[in-house]
Amino acid sequence: MGVVVVVLILAVVAAGIWWSWNRKKQRRVALAGFAAQYQMQYTQDDPYDLLGYPFHLLREGDGRGCENVLAGAWQGLPMREADYWYYTESTDSKGNRNRSYHYFSIVIAVLAVDAPGVTVDKENLLTKLADHLGFHDIDFESEDFNREFQVKARDKEFAYQLIDARMIRWLLSTGGTFGFDLQGSNLLVHSKRLSPTGLVPLFGTAKGFSDHIPNLVWTEYGTKATGVAPSATAVDAQPRPDNEERSTP
């Protein structure tokens, strides 16, 4: 009887490993197909060192990584998209260490601006608790917007310039599905892990954010007189050097 139990356990473990491997393979194939359809480049690993970008989300957890990277342009705006994950480690009372994984779809767009840092994330219980403890975010005239989003910026005046009434209306239309982080000329847009067929709204949201940047910001912080993002070749030219190897969970 004991041998039968062991065999069943091994069979279940083997089936789980195969199912995980097959699921990842199917995702890679689907993402490669998406890239071909939209004239982008696909790589299974991260040749651009996306974790080297200065975004808070990419510093979360005790370990992290990027894979399944798409690079190209969406409606003329240079972008890189990837599966991003990070994990947090904890230890129970018996000394056993556990990892909790968190999975995202991220896109990094290159904008023709050099702007102070601003993050716009969905308001949640933790951020509301932080407000009560005195770590306030930036409030705007729209109460609906304040309830839906948390805005952080070192330069509060720039945050008000960027997030004007038109931008507020557009951000509210996204329903809090995406988070945004603008640092210099790079814009990070992120959401929970999306299926390959669900990536179109992610790319479209990054383009939408760019389209709703006020003229005042383009005038004061734009790096080109026209305020138009650089051509796709700027993002596709060369991969960023990889600083270290990162394992995939």
- Residues comprising the chain, all counted: 249
pLDDT, tens digit, 9 for 90 and up, residues 135-145: 458 999 999 99
Q: In sequence order, what are the residues at sequence separation of 6 or more whose Cβ sits closer than 8 angstroms to the Cβ of residue 123?
A: 146, 147, 148, 149, 150, 176
CA atoms of 207 and 214, how far apart (whole Å): 14
Strand, coil or helix: 22: helix
Give the SS3 label for residue 11.
helix
According to DSSP, the β-strands at 97-122 and 77-91 are antiparallel
What is the average pLDDT score of the chain? 84
Residue 64, helix vs strand vs coil? strand
The C-alpha atoms of residue 20 and residue 154 are separated, in whole angstroms, by: 42
By CB neighbour count within 10 A (0-12 exposed, 13-18 middle, 19+ buried), where does 2 fall? exposed
Share of the chain above pLDDT 70, in %: 76
Q: Which residue has the higher pLDDT, 244 or 104?
A: 104
Residue predicted with more confidence, 175 or 17: 175
Report d(CA 228, CA 149) in Å as an integer.
Answer: 27
In the structure, what pLDDT confidence band is assigned to residue 23 with cuts at 50, 70 and 90? confident
Question: Domain coordinates of the chain in residue numbers?
Answer: 1-37, 68-84+106-236
Mean per-residue pLDDT, 105-127: 88
- pLDDT over 50 at 226, yes or no: no
Predicted local confidence at residue 24, as pLDDT: 85
Residue 185: phi and psi, rounded to 5, are: -100, 5
Average pLDDT over residues 59-81: 96
Paired residues of 69 in beta bridges: 43
pLDDT at 93 over 80: no
pLDDT of residue 211 exceeding 70: yes
pLDDT at residue 119, as a whole number? 96
